[in-house]
Structures are given as structure tokens and as C-alpha cells.
A and B are shown apart, each in its own frame.
Chain A
Amino acid sequence: MKTIDEAKLIDIVGEKNIKTDPSDLYIYGSDSSVHHAMPWAIVKPETTEQVQGIMKYANKNKIPVIARGGGSGMCGQTVPVKGGIMLDMKGMNKILEINLEDVYCRVESGVVDDDLNLALKQYGVFYPPTPASSRIATIGGEIANNASGVRSVKYGATRDAVLGMKVVLPNGDLVSLGAHTRVEASGYQLHKLMIGSEGTLGIVVEATLSFVPIPEFRCMGVANFDTLKDAGEAIGSIMASGANPSMLELVDDVAIKAVNKTMDLGLKEVAAALIFEADGMVKEAVDYEIDKMTKVCEKHNGNDIYSSYDPKERAKIFLGRKKLFPALSKYDENLASTALADDMAVPYSKMAEMAGKIHEIADKNNIVMTAYGHCGSGCMHTKILMDTKRKDQWASAKKAITQVYEYVRSVNGTTSAEHGIGLSKAESFKIEKSDSLNLLATIKKAIDPNNILNPGKLAQAPEDWVTATNLRYSVNN
């Protein structure tokens, strides 16, 4: 372990903003992934100048720096594989400006997504990318992972909502990227380069974000299917029909069974269900979309199709999806629900096949996998349920993941839809992007010549994620 000059850090951020006790370091060594590694110090800056000071110090001494928002990343993005300083950005949590005239807001990067949306709500507007983890995810973490959510099928991902940002570079320089206007054609879109860079190119300290009006009408529907294939084909047809859903979610039979097994929601045990939603300012327009989606579902043998504008009914329809995580955690007391092979995107026409493939691969490898996700935007999620104490289950999971992503790439899909790469998806990422890895390395080197920002991630991550770090589970030999 490299020594850190604590006095120097105290000079920059003050004593109250540093922690170095092993019990604190241990906590900050994990996120929502399967990985764990120890940082050397936690620093919680409160100002841009403090971030600049830390970066200058770290760059001079070649100490790794890992930015951390809510620590809700699922692929080990914030796990400090090479040690270093963990920069807890939650100390920079001010909403700086809500500009209704020019339709943007400015926030520090540690602002929590839900908090921003609460502040915007009173003006009848919202910031749409919102991942399911919005109650803890920070704007900085969402930018770095290019997060998206259930409504991204209509409103886009983080990439589409960020107009500009202020970024501290590894050498401590502060740069303003992008603009405050909706359009910008001035040279390289460097702010977009930061989106999805997983904290490897710069520390985002401020972001300028666009927002949209909260729709007057929302209608949600559900359709059951006797085969996963029918449900998958319905997704493709809905998107190809020109319908404009504000949500289109798939849940498979494993997910439905898990929910039924652990709580009394009385969901019908079918092979798959689609939850769809449309929203808008005019009811007739929403009716039109719902009608269109209902008809497509019917065409693909959807049954028990039902939709409602009533908020209570909508909440009921969505409850099964919402309760999925606790249900999976309680599915079988010997199995833990792990964030592995957690997301991917495939073309609409391959949705059905993809979901089937996930089940086939799980069976072959003796683990349980479930398929669900924001399928309207091509995004598929899985969870691997396995006995994390058994070493052989980790080997099986690894094999299954390799096979899942082989399929994804074979149908022109991509390794991550929204959760990012971090450590656990690096294997497939590197194969998928093999012809641009040199370019990625060149960009990284130009911006971060000492390789101090979140080293060992993305293209730098080892292929074998199982041995990349300690696992955060107890594994018997």
C-alpha cells in the first residue's frame, strides 16, 4: 500500500472531510456489485477548488482517485482495484439553479436524482433519465454510467438530457464542456465523451441538465403471454409499429414465480408479462397509444390485457415489477441474487430469442437466471441466483455470462445498456470493442497520462472478473 500524506489532504479539505480508519475504508470498498477492494483514504470534497487540489496532489504523486456517488454501480465501477483515494462526491450536493425560462437546471454532481426531481416537481417538470436506483444515485454517477430508466424508451438516457458540465481533469485543471443551450455544434462534443466514461477521464463537479413537463395523463397496462417468444415478439412489434410508449417492461416466469412465492400478490403464473404505459398532455393521444399497444399484444396472443389511468390501479400493476428484488432475494434461502450479467441490449427483433437464451444458458450451467427489463429501449436485465458459498457456482456463473454475451454480440447487441462495464463486464466489452481499444487507450492517455483516474476499469479491467478483486461473499474452498 502506498502511503498517503494525510496532512496534505487535511490541508486541502479539512480534517472533518477525511476518513482513514480501516473500518471506514472497508465499507467504501464495495458498491452494489460482487466486488470488493480497499481504498487508502476517503475524501469528501465540498467545493470545486478542493477537488482540484486533490487531483493536483494525486497526479503529482501518481495516486489513484476514484469518484464515488451513491455507490450503487452494479459492475464494480467504484471498487478501488488499485487502491487510492476514494472521492466521495456526496458532499457536493447543491442544486444551484432551476431556470424555467431557459429550461435547464444546474446541479453539483453529488445531488441525488430523486432530490432533484422533488425540487423540479413543484414547477410541473421532471428530469427523465431516472434509473430505478434514483433514490440514491447521484447525477455524477448517472453521467459516468450513462444511466437510464423505465421511461427512457420515450425520454432518452442521461446522454440525451445533459447539456453541459464542469469537469476537473486529472491534472487539476477545470474545464467547461458542452453548453447551456439545447443545440451546440461547436467542435468535439467533449461532454458526451465524459458520459459513460465511468470516472476514468475527469471528475464531474457540475452539470447543466434539461427537463421536460410532467404529463397530465398517464395510462398503464399489462398483458400476459403463454410463451416468452410471444411476449418478445410483441415488444418488437410495438416498437416497430411507431407506438410511443413511455414504459415497456418485460418480466419472465422466474420473476413472476419469485414474486408469487414470496408475497401474496396473486400474479397469474404465465410465461411472461409486458407492462406498458403511455403518457401525454391530451387524453385522446394517450388512448391512441394504449389502444395501439393493446392491439399489438392481442395479435401476439397476449391475454388478460388490462389498462388504467387510476394511480392506485397503476401502482397495483407495477407492484409485481417493483417487488422483484425482494422476491428474488427470498426466492430460495440458499441462493443469493447477484448483480452479474446484469444488463445488455439487443435489437428489438431479438428480444424474444434473448430471453429464451438466458433460460437455456442458466439451465445448462445449473444456476437460476431471470430475464426482465426496460425492453422498450432494447435493454434486457438478468439476475443470477446462485449459492454464493460454492466455488463451483462461481465457475458456472462465469461460464454462463460468457455464453450470454457471446449470444448478445452474435446478434449485434451490446454488452451494456445502462449499468456500464466496470469490472464484471470487461470481458465482453473488450471483445465487442476490439477494433477501438487502441483508440480508447489513446484518449485515456492524452487526458490522464499518469493513469490515476479509476485505473483498472473498462478496457483496463482484467478479463477474469472472478479473480479481479475479492468477492464480497464468503466462498468456501
Chain B
Amino acid sequence: MKNKTKEFKNLEKWQGTLANCIRCGYCFEHCPMFHHTGWESDAPRAKIITAFGLLSGEIEPSESAANKMFSCFYCKRCEAACSSGVPLTEIFTDAKKDLLEMGLEGPGTTSITQLSCARCLICLSACPHEARSYVEGKGITTDPAKCQACGICLEVCPAGAAKIENDFGTNKEVLIEKANDFLDTHESSKAIVFACNWSYYPELQASVLPDSETKDNDYEILVNMCGGRLEPHLLMAPFLHNAWGVLVACCPDDECQHNGNLRAKKIVENLHNTFKQIDVDPERIQLVQIPAGDKTLFQAEIDTFVDKLNSMGPIR
């Protein structure tokens, strides 16, 4: 096979690393994208294979190949799980830089700005990765090589103009629908747990349990990528479907890559005040901070929360 590496100036340096990936696939069941679509071609290993294919000239730098490289939430769970120490997201970013030079840019999971943008520029300072800028005559643009799809711009934008088109199930409407579906179909349902992908550690990942095993579940975990993406409307929605409580899990104070946890904390605080005003126990909505991957602590917090809800009973 012939090498055609000259066009991939940034990716080139990873040639040895790409050969060192043993293609074990240990990374893929941890990826929220694979979890959502069930397609191996959305998994981290697939991106490594694609990067290799692009670098070796075995695949064309096409729109669909680019879309794969531009789709990533940068949660780095794949890196934590990698059997061979491959720095996956660094490789993705370098591939993205080269593809951009070739005029390919996804959209993948890059946040775009729609026409309804009011040019308030709030998102510029809110973006933790300096990915957004204002260009005279063009409006707000996002640098796809810098955007890490944290979704914070979506939540701060008052005009609803920021959007991640390929949301892989992390969009607010989808989450509300999932929460409602769980609450409406499970007799013993009590709580919805919104977890950012860093604090979230799945138990059953790819497989599905029989109904008989899940019918008595009293809570459902929904992944919203970053705590910064939570907003009052999303957290209140389950209560309209008779939830007894809502638990929010995000990263410890100084561990969030996007400072989304600080936003989440503020939102929960505000909701506590609202709850007090309408005479509902504010404890029904709680925030816990879980270091990435600590599933024991996560489970313990959920159990404590559900116990508390059981002692409170439903909202009357």
C-alpha cells in the first residue's frame, strides 16, 4: 500500500501510535456515541481506523469520513479504557486540523450557529474552549478543531441559535422524552438521574435486559454529556410526569473540563429557591459531584437519594 501522508501534516506524527493501537476495541463500549447508535463505525476504534486509513491513503478524505472524525464529545472515556495508552482525542484533533485544510469540516458534533442568532455574543465568553468567534460579515463562527461539543453555548444562548446537529441523543427534547417514557411505563418509577458523561459509569452498556428484570426499577439514568448543559426546564420536566425527585451528577469542583459543574450548581440552587416558594421540599432536587469513573460512589449517592425519596413519598 502506498503512503500519501503529505497532506496530513498534523496527523502524520501519529503514524507509530496508530500502528500501536492493537485494535482490541476496549475503548468502544465506553463511548456514548456507540452507546447511542449501536454502530461500531461511531466508536472510538472506528475513528482510529479511519485516521489510519486517511493517513495511509486507503480511504478518501470524504465528507462521511470527516464526519466521523468531527464527531466526539471529548469525554476521553475511550482514553481511560484504552489497553495501549493511545491518546485518542489528540489524534482526532490533529486529523480535524488536516481535514479542515482540505475543506472538510463535518459538521459532526461541532456546535453551529443558526440564523436566529441575536449577536449578543454571550456564547463567546461562555465557551470554555475558545472555539467561538465573531467574524464581521459572517456572524458567529465555530472553529471545529477547537469545539469539544460540551454544549454550553446551546444552553447560554437566549435566542436558541446555537445547535449541535448530530447530538447522539444528548439533545434536551430527546432527554425529556426518555424521562417521560420511563416515568409513564414503570409503576415503581420515582427518580430521574441526569448524569454528565464524566461522572456517569454505566452498568449494562450494550445489551438489553428482559422486561421482567427492569419493570421494578425506581430510577433511570440519562446522560446529558456535560453538567453545563442542564437547564431548569429539563430538570423540572420529570416532575410533570409524577417524578418524586431529580438527581444531578456532575464532576467535582475543579475537575470539570468545561466548568459546566459550576453552572449546574447555580441552576440547582435557583431551583431550590423556586421549590421553597411553591412549598415543595427542595431536597427533591439534588446535585452530587462524582469523580470521573467512580461508579461505587455514584451508585451509593443514587441509593441514598432514592431512600430519601422513599421517606418523603410522592409530591402531593
Residues of chain A whose beta carbon lies under 8 Å from any beta carbon of chain B: 19, 21-24, 26-28, 30-33, 42, 44, 70-72, 88, 90-91, 93-98, 107, 110-112, 114-116, 118-119, 133, 135-136, 325-326, 329-330, 333-334, 336-337, 339, 388-389, 470-476
Contact = CB atoms under 8 A, between A and B. Distances in A.
B3 A329 contact: no
15 contacts: A22-B62, A23-B41, A27-B49, A32-B23, A72-B24, A95-B210, A114-B205, A133-B24, A133-B25, A329-B21, A329-B83, A329-B85, A330-B20, A470-B58, A474-B1
Contacts of A28: 40-41
B19 A474 contact: yes
A469 to B, nearest CB: 11
A23 B64 contact: yes
Contacts of B19: 336, 388-389, 473-474
Nearest to A88: B40
Contact of A472 (B23, B82, B207): B23
A93 B208 contact: yes
B83 A94 contact: no
Interface string B36-52: 00111100001001101
Contact of A326 (B40, B41, B60, B85): B85
Contact of A96 (B38, B84, B206, B210): B210
Contact of A98 (B52, B60, B210): B210
B173 interface: no
Interface in B50-91: 50, 52-53, 55-56, 58-60, 62, 64-65, 68, 82-85
Given A22-B59, A28-B41, A71-B40, A112 B25 contact: no
A116 B207 CA distance: 8
A135 B204 CA distance: 11
B68 A23 contact: yes
B300 to A, nearest CB: 16
B30 to A, nearest CB: 9
A115 B62 contact: no
A18 B65 CA distance: 17
Nearest to A106: B210
Nearest to B3: A474
B315 interface: no
Nearest to A105: B210
Given A23-B59, A93-B208, A326-B84, A136 B25 contact: yes
Interface string B10-30: 000001100111111110110
A247 B203 CA distance: 26
Contact of B204 (A19, A91, A98, A119): A119
Most buried by A among B19, B60, B64, B82: B19
B40 A336 contact: no
Interface of B: 1, 3, 15-16, 19-26, 28-29, 38-41, 46, 49-50, 52-53, 55-56, 58-60, 62, 64-65, 68, 82-85, 203-210, 213
Contacts of B24: 32, 72, 133, 136, 325
A124 to B, nearest CB: 15
B250 to A, nearest CB: 24
A325 B68 contact: no
Contacts of A337: 20, 22, 84
Given A32-B25, A94-B207, A136-B26, A119 B213 contact: yes
A330 B16 CA distance: 10
B83 to A, nearest CB: 4
A415 B137 CA distance: 68
B205 A325 contact: no
Contacts of A472: 23, 52
A472 B45 CA distance: 13
Nearest to A329: B84
A32 B22 contact: yes
A361 B16 CA distance: 25
Contacts of A96: 210
Most buried by A among B20, B40, B68: B40
Most buried by B among A22, A136, A330, A334: A136
A233 to B, nearest CB: 31
Nearest to B205: A115
A94 B206 CA distance: 9
Contact of B50 (A27, A32, A339, A476): A27
A475 B19 CA distance: 11
Contacts of B62: 21-23
Contacts of B203: 118
A343 to B, nearest CB: 15
A307 B58 CA distance: 51
B29 A112 contact: yes
A323 B38 CA distance: 28
A79 to B, nearest CB: 11
A329 B29 contact: no
A325 B49 contact: no
A114 B55 CA distance: 34
